[in-house]
Structure 1
């Protein structure tokens, strides 16, 4: 595999949605993500291509990862392993309350800080339109990052197979004869892309050069992450100085990356949660489930793109402060009303943490 998922969201519709609140933004109550108490089917016709977000995990800053000029990285976040389960004692009723609870839980967390490898496992998914229905194209990505000289840093990729996204998509797929593969046009100059329901083999390759680490779509280094402040205001100032537009949506994406994707200390993650709690425009979506059925609570940032409304969601377990998933949703436009919204792409944080096991070999 030669390409990596990029953290972008492309909106391709034409006009303004009909369901707006007075300040011109959609009512977030209409767009709950995978609601535990109520589910709605979504439209099958869309002209939005969701993109797969991706960032890097890494090992402790005191450890120098060797080989191919690989960058040393700071201490990793706590493991988001296990199912999310909002506890009875943690019942936030707003985005701010949820994010502050997550910050407090992060401050109180105790995780292993050493091991032969830092391992991060994520499942990435993207909705693809095929005629009258959508399929989910899914990819599992593992990163094994060594703590000592002599051990290789490796990535493991596995195509998890495609399948209809929703119950409505599944019904349309069955009416279409339940095809087992689909072909789509590739980028100019490349062969067509074949997507299949079959699970592919695990592919292992060495990580060479600097580890790809991004904040809100901009490259950062291990030194950048090691120097991040652990006070919310200072962290916001650091991010604002790096982000081109200094907009709240950029800060939301940056905070999301820090709490969910990047190898930063627990203190920095807690500061990122507190920074998010003070941002304008962060909505509360209540109790939801991620794509693996784990329960959590979601916050979201909604914005209008060139042709329609899109929403980025972060699902958190308030009982542990762990990020469970992030999702990109299309909320529609006047030309393509999307009802409760359509999930276009997602990243599920399966697990992360240290292990003394040997890494897979290429």
Structure 2
């Protein structure tokens, strides 16, 4: 686990955002790790089938924000019976129905539109193949984006510790002696990263300057976000004119970023949901749980890349219209995708919204 600030910042800077995850499985030959079992004196060489964490966007500095933000994170509404917890309304039965319900809930939300900071708290994770099982490499990233030029941006990050990803991974991990530590080696000239099951220290960094923000790989400014159209057709046209590629898959990533990642107004988020509802190739997955165990309904876009079939998922609480999580899955390299896939990386949206609180300093 990296403990020096420069090691952690290198991790964050070099990481690919989840929205740019490859459609296929990364090359297993790129990285190796050494397992240090709890009850063994001789370490073993193990293989990692994933690259450096695709868990965070690059670090950056202050920006003046004028757009609205997403709601502070309430507890997601229950999905027993009808999603949204009403018990009376019929649960959405298709991707289009879910996305239109989410848009209506977003329209109706009472969202704060100003504050000293816009705060976003996320948990990022990535699966690492370690021998016969996978471990989850997890980071908590908290961003305080200043709305006035006199305040710095603040980023807080914490390594949450590694753990087996699934129940099957946990069983294999226990059979392997329950190792508590692994060493990941990267490209020549980089410092090896030691990952352990223990959480690392909470680290705070204040930065000044401009902060890059991305929509489906397109860098945008706070002024761009403030001027986004709030009508779905106009929003699609705005994105189509700017994205290098504007197939439905790229528009799905763009819509997902707008509803889940960026400080845009509720009207723009609702428009993004409605744009997603009109895209072809968006599938309905029904009730799922995110990595924190919260229930929601999921939609997905699947396409084939050089390495195989990849699927991007968006998990939504239909009772509030809030995006709970986004996930990247590998569905195999055969001619057709498998029904069951492997979760490769994820972002859990813990909370986001405006606040007048002072940013943390330590």
Distance 1:340 1:325, change over 3 A: same
Q: How does 1:144-293 map to 2 (within 5 A)?
A: 144-148=144-148, 150-293=150-293
1:2 aligns with 2:4: no
Distance 1:225 1:149, change over 3 A: closer
Distance 1:261 1:68, change over 3 A: closer
Tell me the distance in 1 between the aligned counterparts of 2:61 and 2:327.
Answer: 33
Tell me the distance in 2 between the aligned counterparts of 1:213 and 1:223.
Answer: 11
Q: Is the 8 A contact 1:313 1:326 kept in 2?
A: yes
1:321 aligns with 2:321: yes
1:77 matched residue in structure 2: 70
Q: Is the 8 A contact 1:9 1:51 kept in 2?
A: no
Tell me the distance in 2 between the aligned counterparts of 1:90 and 1:148.
Answer: 44
2:344 matched residue in structure 1: 344
CA RMSD of aligned residues (A): 2.5
1:359 aligns with 2:352: no
Q: Is the 8 A contact 1:50 1:345 kept in 2?
A: no
Q: Is the 8 A contact 1:286 1:297 kept in 2?
A: yes
Deviations 1:171-200 (A, max 9, x none): 111111111111122123112221111100
Deviations 1:293-332 (A, max 9, x none): 1110000000101021000000000111000000000011
2:138 matched residue in structure 1: 138
Q: Provide structure 2 residue ranges, at least 5 long, that are not aligned to the other structure.
A: 1-7, 27-46
Q: Is the 8 A contact 1:119 1:353 kept in 2?
A: yes
Shift of 1:334: 3.0
Q: Is the 8 A contact 2:63 2:147 kept in 1?
A: no
SS where residue 10 of structure 1 aligns?
coil
Q: TM-score, normalised by structure 1?
A: 0.83
Q: How does 1:58-137 map to 2 (within 5 A)?
A: 70-85=63-78, 86-87=83-84, 88=87, 89=89, 91-137=91-137
Shift of 1:160: 0.3
Tell me the distance in 2 between the aligned counterparts of 1:354 and 1:305.
Answer: 38
Distance 1:195 1:175, change over 3 A: same
Tell me the distance in 2 between the aligned counterparts of 1:206 and 1:46.
Answer: 33
SS where residue 111 of structure 2 aligns?
coil
2:54 matched residue in structure 1: 52
Q: Is the 8 A contact 1:154 1:204 kept in 2?
A: yes
Q: Provide structure 1 residue ranges, at least 5 long, that are not aligned to the other structure.
A: 15-44, 57-66
SS where residue 115 of structure 2 aligns?
coil
Tell me the distance in 2 between the aligned counterparts of 1:96 and 1:339.
Answer: 21
Q: Is the 8 A contact 1:80 1:324 kept in 2?
A: no
Shift of 1:68: 6.8
Distance 1:335 1:101, change over 3 A: closer
Count of residue pairs brought into register by the alignment: 322
